[in-house]
Structure 1
Amino acid sequence: MSDFKLDPDKEYTLVLVKPDGYRRGLTGKILARIEQKGYAIVALRIVQATDDDLHEHYVEHRGKHFFESMVDFMQSGKLVAAVIEGTRVVEGVRSLVGATNPTEAAPGTIRGDYGRDYDSGQIQNLVHAADSPSSAAREIKVWFPDAC
């Protein structure tokens, strides 16, 4: 994997550029927006997600009506996992990402500028960002187990 280790005195979040973002060639633009805000990308990998990865990552959604279609979408192509560091990084990155529904996401956000509804029955919104420090810690362990 890598030599990267989390520093307990720093704040981190996890970002996934989802298969739709990767397929559309938006990975660089998405990560650049995060860097332009002043956050640091401290670990990065391109991966084809497994069932185990996604069942662990989306543990809070298991059993919900959309879970299986979400897993299918997340396995529809490669994704990019990134650990981002910075002060109040979880909250800051969530603000940059924008609303879950890309049609409703404000202009100036990643989803507002690059996302749209494809009427596919799945929310294809380009990017995932952890919603809390505890979620970020758990999710980082899924995608970067050697860092923890």
Structure 2
Amino acid sequence: MAKRSEGVKVVCTNKKARRDYHIEETFEAGLVLRGCEVKSLREGKANLTDAYAWVQDGEAWISGLHISPYPHGRREEQDPDRDKKLLLHKYEIRRLHGKVRQKGYTLVPLRVYFRGGHAKVELGLGRGKKHYDKREDLKRADAQREIQRAMRRR
């Protein structure tokens, strides 16, 4: 499940994010985790399916990031669905807060990974796609697939 490329170990990705949103910008944020959560992440036991991020009182948070409990850790300390704080620079938080307040923008977690031993989240600032946008993307992907098949046959 985990891939390694250029010193980055990808733990999990949100495959629906790019299908459901036009991602305009991406940000890298650190994650505030407890000890057993880090061990569980290193094993690849995380899920970003229903995760979202928000800014409140000058702090960025992520919710819905499910990190399965570490089997050898203390049971009473583990809450797999707790909200986790994101580490960003103050100017990035202000900028994100201003953008998210505009109509239609949202913060979408794209992937969780390790870089240099630190857990990171890639956040995308995006607008929700309409149904016809999704159909257009599917048509474009089908056309690209057909072009690739034709090129292989030559």
- TM-score bracket for this pair, using the shorter chain length: under 0.3
TM-score, normalising length: structure 2: 0.25
Higher strand share: 2
Higher helix share: 1
Structure with bigger gyration radius = 2
TM-score, normalising length: structure 1: 0.26
Structure with the larger RCO, 1 or 2 (CA within 8 Å, 6+ apart): 1
